[in-house]
Structure formats: structure tokens, C-alpha cells
């Protein structure tokens, strides 16, 4: 009794075509597997900019330590969502490694309410915002916004050398100012004196 199996009669030419088709298919599968392996391997090695920011923040010194250890300090106000902060992350990471010995690096995330007193004190209204401190922990200069690597490096070199920072807005101690001049009397024609023209 015959089992339900169709008899397949193939010619040598059909077998050769089938073998070639299998070889091409296997070659394409191997090629795709190699490409996917490479893409996955490369993707895992590439660090996201926000990941680089987080890694740098974790490696930075606590603010209290940095301002009291006798070394100059660069403090950066940043946020994970800040595209300028992300764009600068690679250059800053390299500079932080290069200047790790003579300088302190501190990173404060503006999204953390813990840093609200510092955000207010240093008038942070845009990020990245950098504050530079001398060896005594006194703020001496600030810069705001994305900075090219050569400018950052020039400021860091000057900070290490206790020289004036070339690319910053200078800051320092100020004295209280009280004007000794008597206030000017309002003229009736002065638009700021409109309340004096109103009769009660």
C-alpha cells in the first residue's frame, strides 16, 4: 500500500538551480546578520549626549568640597534636555579629563530644586551657564551659552594660571552705592509726572 507521498522527479538542472538559490539566500542571511551585529555593537558603544551629561554630573565634585579645597573651580548649570549642553558634552568631558588635576568641576542640574539658592545667587536665566571661582572659592567670572572648545580651554588655562579669563563677563565684589544727588523735580511736561497732574 502506498503512502500519500507525491513522487518528486527533479532533473539535475532543477537541483542545480535549487542549490544556487539556497546559496544566495544563505549568503544574504549571513550578510544581514553581520550588518545587524555591527549596527548593534556600534550603537551600544555610542553614548547619548544626555547620558554623557549624567556621567559627568556623577563624576563632578560636590559644590561645598570644590569651593573649600584651595583649587580653582568651574561650575556648570545644565539640564538633560538642554541641546546646547548636549552639544558641548563631548568637548567638556575631554577638557575635564585634561584639567582634572589643577581644577575642580561642578555640575548643577537646574531641574533639581536643591540648587534654587545657587540659581538665584548666580542669576541663572539661560543654560549652559558657567561660573568660574578662584582658589579662595570666590566667583570671578561667568559665561552663558554654548562655547566653542578653544574658548573654554582658554578660560580654563587662565583659571589655572590665576590670570584674567579672556572670554567671560567679569564679576567680583561690589560696594553699595547711594546717590548723593538730590532727586530731580518733575516737570509738568514730563510724561513720568502724570500723577502730579491729577487733582484730588
Active-site residue numbers? 82, 85
Coil, strand or helix: which one is 89? helix
Let me know the angle formed at the C-alpha of 66 by 65 and 69, rounded to the nearest 5 degrees.
75
Q: Which helix (H) or strand (E) holds 44?
A: helix 12-45
- Measuring CA to CA, which residue among 124, 129, 159, 158 is closest to residue 143? 129
Rounded Cα–Cα distance for residues 17 and 130 (Å)? 69
Cross-strand bridge partners of residue 109: 78
Residue 120 contacts residue 131 (beta carbons within 8 Å): no
Residue 159 contacts residue 74 (beta carbons within 8 Å): yes
- Cell match 567679569: residue? 170
Phi, psi (degrees; rounded to nearest 5) at 73:
-135, 140
Amino acid at each position: 500500500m502506498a503512502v500519500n507521498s507525491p513522487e518528486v522527479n527533479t532533473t539535475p538542472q532543477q537541483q542545480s538551480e535549487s542549490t544556487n538559490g539556497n546559496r544566495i539566500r544563505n549568503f544574504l542571511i549571513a550578510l544581514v546578520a553581520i550588518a545587524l551585529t555591527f549596527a548593534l555593537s556600534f550603537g551600544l558603544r555610542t553614548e547619548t549626549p544626555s547620558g554623557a551629561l549624567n556621567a559627568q554630573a556623577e563624576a563632578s565634585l560636590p559644590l561645598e568640597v570644590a569651593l573649600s579645597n584651595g583649587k580653582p573651580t568651574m561650575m556648570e548649570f545644565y539640564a538633560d534636555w538642554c541641546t546646547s549642553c548636549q552639544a558641548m558634552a563631548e568637548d567638556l568631558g575631554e577638557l575635564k579629563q585634561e584639567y582634572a588635576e589643577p581644577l575642580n568641576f561642578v555640575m548643577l542640574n537646574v531641574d533639581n530644586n536643591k540648587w534654587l539658592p545657587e540659581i538665584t545667587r548666580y542669576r541663572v536665566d539661560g543654560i549652559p551657564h558657567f561660573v568660574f571661582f578662584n582658589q579662595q572659592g570666590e566667583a570671578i567670572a561667568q559665561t552663558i551659552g554654548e562655547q566653542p572648545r578653544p574658548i573654554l580651554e582658554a578660560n580654563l588655562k587662565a583659571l589655572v594660571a590665576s590670570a584674567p579669563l579672556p572670554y567671560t563677563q567679569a564679576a567680583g565684589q561690589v560696594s553699595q552705592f547711594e546717590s548723593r544727588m538730590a532727586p530731580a523735580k518733575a516737570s509738568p511736561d514730563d510724561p513720568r509726572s502724570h500723577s502730579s497732574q491729577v487733582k484730588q
